[in-house]
């Protein structure tokens, strides 16, 4: 892996663009462009800004520059028997650290090990004026100042170009076993509620027509949990969880719109029709449907959550439900704090535009 600090150049490029009022499109390999959506501006690549700046296995903290390939980070952690607890999706072999944090997505382990946002401890950014700023830090507990680092997570680069992000990492579990069960949608819901809150060492709970339960921890604990639950050992468990995280699972191929619904795990989605795949013990649901977007937004909201159009062939389609007017106005003011000229990834975050 190349290691190079290119922050001065990146900051300079943003400062120039700001002076000219020209929009910039923060770019890597584009593995998640489909998610972020199209935006305007001159491309600005973070690819030259890479390398792990600091990794201390005894501290459980890693700091890396945004252009670092996600695979490189995972490989370095694995050498010390550690991992990113939030199991981020790569969506392509070129996924970068910056793009990962900017999109803020987490994999199947999220309900039990926390999200990417939960793991973030600090960051260095270039704001929309080209100023380099530091927030948070590298320690576990820190309540000094507003929590800007977590605010940056998932903001799709519209609040700043991420230069460096520090996260908390976790030890890899000693033992991992996946069980699978033949069961209906309705049955799976009941079991997900029961097992998801059971205190068993669950690290994955998903349904695609079969129910999958992943257990991880000390070997004797996992064995006992297996005995208590029963069920069959899943074949190619690693393939299943990877396919789920990376959307390589058959469910994700095809042309119909793919929706992500974030819901309370036991929620009912009413009459919303289409094909379902359920992850996060019920809290993250994938839906392929031709339903009208407003119908999906409304159903998710009625259930206490929210929906996002995740993959679509229609670039004009609305991806999120509009925010309440007061909240939308607040988003615009927050955006203006970091990027007053609105030059960073213009158009990507319609909520704040």
Partner 1 sequence: MRPFECDALSAYTVLPWLAVLPETVEQVRAVLRLCHSQSVPVVTRGAGTGLSGGALPVAEGVLLSLAKFNRILEVDPANRLARVQPGVRNLAISEAAAPFGLYYAPDPSSQVACTIGGNVAENSGGVHCLKYGLTVHNVLQVTLLTIEGELLTLGSLGLDGPGYDLLALINGSEGLLGVIVEVVVKLLPVPETARTVLAAFDSIEAASEAVAGVISAALVPAGLEMMDNLTLRATEAFVHAGYPVEAAAVVLCEMDGMVEQVEAEIARARTVLAGHGAVEVRESRDEAERRKFWAGRKAAFPAIGRIAPDYYCIDGTIPRKRLAEVLGRIGELSERYGLAVGNVFHAGDGNLHPLILYDASHPGELERAEALGEEILVLCVEVGGTVTGEHGVGIEKLNPMCVQFGTAELRRFHALKAAFDAGGLLNPGKAVPTLARCAEFGRVHVHGGRLRHPELERF
Ligand X SMILES: Cc1cc2nc3c(=O)[nH]c(=O)nc-3n(C[C@H](O)[C@H](O)[C@H](O)COP(=O)(O)OP(=O)(O)OC[C@H]3O[C@@H](n4cnc5c(N)ncnc54)[C@H](O)[C@@H]3O)c2cc1C
Residues between 54 and 83 that touch ligand X (CB under 6 A): 66-69
Residue 128 binds which of ligand X, partner 1, none (CB < 5-8 A, kind-dependent) = none
Instruction: Give the burial class of 345: count Cβ atoms within 10 A of its Cβ; 0-12 exposed, 13-18 middle, 19 or more buried.
Output: buried
Is there binding between residue 162 and partner 1 (CB under 8 A)? no
Instruction: Decide: is 305 part of the binding site for ligand X (CB under 6 A).
Output: no
How far apart CA 51 and CA 66 sit, in angstroms, is: 8
Cα 54 to Cα 60, 64, 73, 140: the distances in Å are: 11, 7, 11, 15
Tokens of residue 68, six digits: 């670092």
- Residue 328 burial by CB count (10 A; 0-12/13-18/19+): exposed, middle or buried? middle
- Which residue shows structure tokens 């923060």? 26
Provide the mask over 108-147, with x wherever binding to ligand X is found by CB under 6 A and - wherever it is not. Answer: ----------------------------------------
Cα-Cα-Cα-Cα dihedral sign, residues 107, 334, 305, 312: negative
What's the min distance (Å) between Cβ of 240 and ligand X? 23
The mark string for 226-265 relative to ligand X (x by CB under 6 A, - otherwise) is: ----------------------------------------
Q: Is residue 11 within the footprint of ligand X (CB under 6 A)?
A: no
Exactly one of 13, 47, 191, 311 binds ligand X (CB under 6 A); which one? Answer: 47
Choose between 28 and 136: whose C-beta lies nearer to ligand X.
28
Q: How far is the CB of 131 from partner 1 (least distance, A)?
A: 6
97: helix, strand or coil: helix
- Who contacts 71 (Cβ-Cβ below 8 Å, separation ≥6)? 90, 93, 95
157 binds, among ligand X, partner 1, none (CB under 5 to 8 A by kind): ligand X
Task: Name the minimum Å distance from CB 235 to partner 1.
Answer: 26
Cα–Cα distance for residue pair 313/317, rounded to 1 Å? 9
88 counts as binding partner 1 under rule CB under 8 A? no
Residue 304 backbone class (left: φ over 0; alpha: ψ -120 to 50; beta: rest): left
Region of 8-16, 92-100, 230-238, 316-324 interacting with partner 1 (CB under 8 A): 316-324
Binding site for ligand X (CB under 6 A): 2, 26-33, 36, 46-47, 50, 66-69, 94-96, 98-100, 102-103, 156-157, 161-162, 345, 348
């Amino acid at each position: 892996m190349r290691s190079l600090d290119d922050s001065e150049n990146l900051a300079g490029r943003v400062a120039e663009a700001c002076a000219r009022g020209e929009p910039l499109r923060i770019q890597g390999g584009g593995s998640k462009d489909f998610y972020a959506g199209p935006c305007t501006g001159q491309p600005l690549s973070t690819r030259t800004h890479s390398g792990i700046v600091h990794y201390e296995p005894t501290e459980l903290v890693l700091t890396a520059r945004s252009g670092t390939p996600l695979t490189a980070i995972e490989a370095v952690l694995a050498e010390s028997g550690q991992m990113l607890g939030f199991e981020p999706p790569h969506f392509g072999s070129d996924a970068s650290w910056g793009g990962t944090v900017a999109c803020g997505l987490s994999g199947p382990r999220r309900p039990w090990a926390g999200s990417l946002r939960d793991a973030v401890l600090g960051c260095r950014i270039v704001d929309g004026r080209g100023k380099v700023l530091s927030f948070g830090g590298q320690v576990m507990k820190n309540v000094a100042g507003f929590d800007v680092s977590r605010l940056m997570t998932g903001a799709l680069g519209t609040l700043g170009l991420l230069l460096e992000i520090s996260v908390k990492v976790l030890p890899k579990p000693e033992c991992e076993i996946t069980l699978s069960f033949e069961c209906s949608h309705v049955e799976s819901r009941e079991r997900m509620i029961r097992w998801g809150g059971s205190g068993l060492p669950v690290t994955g709970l998903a349904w695609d027509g079969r129910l999958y339960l992943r257990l991880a921890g000390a070997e004797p604990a996992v064995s006992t949990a297996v005995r208590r639950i029963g069920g069959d050992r899943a074949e190619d468990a690693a393939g299943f969880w990877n396919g789920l995280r990376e959307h390589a699972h058959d469910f994700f191929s095809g042309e119909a719109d793919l929706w992500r619904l974030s819901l309370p795990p036991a929620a009912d989605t009413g009459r919303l029709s289409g094909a379902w795949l359920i992850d996060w013990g019920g809290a993250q649901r994938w839906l392929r449907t031709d339903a009208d977007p407003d119908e999906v937004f409304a159903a998710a909201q009625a259930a206490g959550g929210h929906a996002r159009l995740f993959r679509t062939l229609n670039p004009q389609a609305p991806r999120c439900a509009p925010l309440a007017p007061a909240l939308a106005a607040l988003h615009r003011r927050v955006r203006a704090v970091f990027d007053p000229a609105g030059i960073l990834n213009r158009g990507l975050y319609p909520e704040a535009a």
